[in-house]
Amino acid sequence: MAIRPRTVTAFVLGAALALGAPALQRVVGFGVPAAVAQRDARPAGPSNKSTVLAMDDERIKLAEIEQRQVGPASIARRLTVPGTIVPDAGRVAHVAVKLSGTVAELRKNIGDDVAKDEVLAVVESREVADAKSEYLAAGLSNELQQDLTARDKSLWDGRAVPEQQYIKSRNAAAQTVMRFGIARQKLLALGVREDEIAALPQAPDASLRSQNVRAPISGRVAERKVELGTAVGRDNLETELFVIVDLGRVWIDLSVSSADLPAVREGQAVNVETRGRPEAGTAKIVFVSPLLDKDTRTARVVAAIDNADGRWRPGSFVTAAIAIEEHAAPVVAPFTAVQSVRGRKAVFVRTKDGFEKRDVVLGQRDGHSVEIVSGLAAGETIAVSNTFSLKAELSKPGEED
């Protein structure tokens, strides 16, 4: 039986369609668009993975993921300069003696904490013994003369003595008062306190040669310059016994170039960081020098910072970021919350089921914080620590891969 040409053509076309477009092109010679050919030749890729990571509270706790609610805050443009921690000049006291003597007692040593007016040492001095004796003698002489003057006045009132005798007695009383006052001022000049002077008439004789050396401020003994038996005082002898430093507040010495100086002024906030320490502190500029160093062409700038916990040690080098311009940002997040996922910045937002990856647009960075321009709303809670583990979990292939 003869086979018709139309039947053969239909058979060939059916077979080619069953084999696919490339076969059709080879068999029949029909043109197939290049895009279709490439699509058919490209292997199928993995399906888009969900951006929600299912995690309950227990898993979040085990992963040590810290969460924080974001909101508005101030973002500043900062000038970064190096600095050095130094003691506050108003909180350093050099304890010296004002008389000649010998160190008889040392009640405080280097590193000890001291309170204001606490006795640090005791000095024995002939000079202070003479001054105390002179004061006591002047006091007794004054009391006696005041009694005599009172008696002469009563006698003169009764016309029992002439007026000349009363006037003479009154002049003598005025002189004893003056000598008594001079003796008291001498003791004050030697460092004897008011309460110690008042207690002298009842004090034992052995204490007359002793002089207490007290702390003028509260703080810590940074230096002790004498030993027991050391001669101190005048005639080229050591007069300074201790150096006390109050480190409850310290200064940060900064060097700012002349080009940046116009943007720096007193009262500006300064973020302070120390190498090797994750935490930072906030200082305040208290002094901007009007003079420039002739060699470096920089000006000295001083910032004060609280140091109640003692973490800012004098002599440490720090990095200070001076806030030059500030603006209020609607949404600010810790920079540790931001991760790069598939070439885009993202954060992980807490949901009822876990965390959702949210693409965000970043604005200006300020230290450890960054402005979120879009992608996140104030009041939302995000992961701010160990976010890399969330990124790694998101990058794992799905079960179908």
In degrees and rounded to multiples of 5, residue 28 shows phi and psi of -95, -30
**Model pTM above 0.85:** no
Distance CA(383)–CA(66), nearest Å, equals 6
Which alpha helices (DSSP H) does 158-266 contain, by range? 163-189, 194-198
3-state secondary structure (DSSP) of residue 149: helix
At 257-269, the pLDDT tens digits run 998 899 899 998 8
Beta carbons of 91 and 217 less than 8 angstroms apart: yes
- Report which of residues 171 and 152 the model is more confident about: 171
Distance CA(298)–CA(79), nearest Å, equals 14
Say how many C-beta atoms besides its own lie within 10 A of residue 303's C-beta: 25
User: What interhelical angle do 126-157 and 163-189 show, nearest 10?
Assistant: 160
3-state secondary structure (DSSP) of residue 297: coil
| Mean of all residue pLDDT scores within the chain | 83
How remote is the C-alpha of 261 from its chain's centroid?
A: 23
Question: Which pLDDT value is given to residue 186?
Answer: 93
Residues 6+ apart with CB under 8 A from 206: none
At 72-114, the pLDDT tens digits run 988 878 888 999 999 999 999 999 988 889 999 999 999 999 9
Residues 6+ apart with CB under 8 A from 276: none
- Average pLDDT of span 182-193: 92
The token pair at 216 is 């003028």
Which DSSP string corresponds to 97-136?
Answer: -SS-EEEEEE---TT-EE-TT-EEEEEE-HHHHHHHHHHH
- Range among 26-30, 83-87, 165-169 rated most confident: 83-87
> In this prediction, what percent of the chain has a pLDDT beyond 70?
85
Distances (CA, A) of 108 to 121, 209, 212: 7, 21, 13
Residue 254: pLDDT above 90?
yes
Beta carbons of 358 and 376 less than 8 angstroms apart: yes
User: What domains lie within the chain, and their CATH numbers?
Assistant: 5-41 (no CATH), 52-73+328-395 (2.40.420.20), 77-89+247-326 (2.40.30.170), 94-245 (2.40.50.100)
pLDDT band at 24 (very low <50, low <70, confident <90, very high): very low
Distances (CA, A) of 390 to 57, 68, 79, 330: 14, 16, 34, 26
The residue among 86, 93, 84 whose CA lies nearest residue 245 is: 93
Question: Which pLDDT value is given to residue 215?
Answer: 94
How remote is the C-alpha of 256 from its chain's centroid?
A: 20
Strands 92-96 and 339-341, bridge-based pairing: unpaired
Say how many C-beta atoms besides its own lie within 10 A of residue 184's C-beta: 19
Beta carbons of 350 and 44 less than 8 angstroms apart: no
Helix (H) or strand (E) holding 382, with range, is strand 381-383
Say how many C-beta atoms besides its own lie within 10 A of residue 389's C-beta: 15
pLDDT band at 287 (very low <50, low <70, confident <90, very high): very high
Residue 362: pLDDT above 50?
yes
Encoded amino acid at 10, one letter:
A
Point out the least confidently predicted range of 179-183, 291-295, 339-343, 395-399: 395-399
- Average pLDDT of span 115-138: 93
Residue 349: pLDDT above 70?
yes
What 3 state SS string does 16-76 have? HHHHCHHHHHHHHCCCCCHHHHHHHHCCCCCCCCCCEEECCHHHHHHCCCCEEECEEEEEE
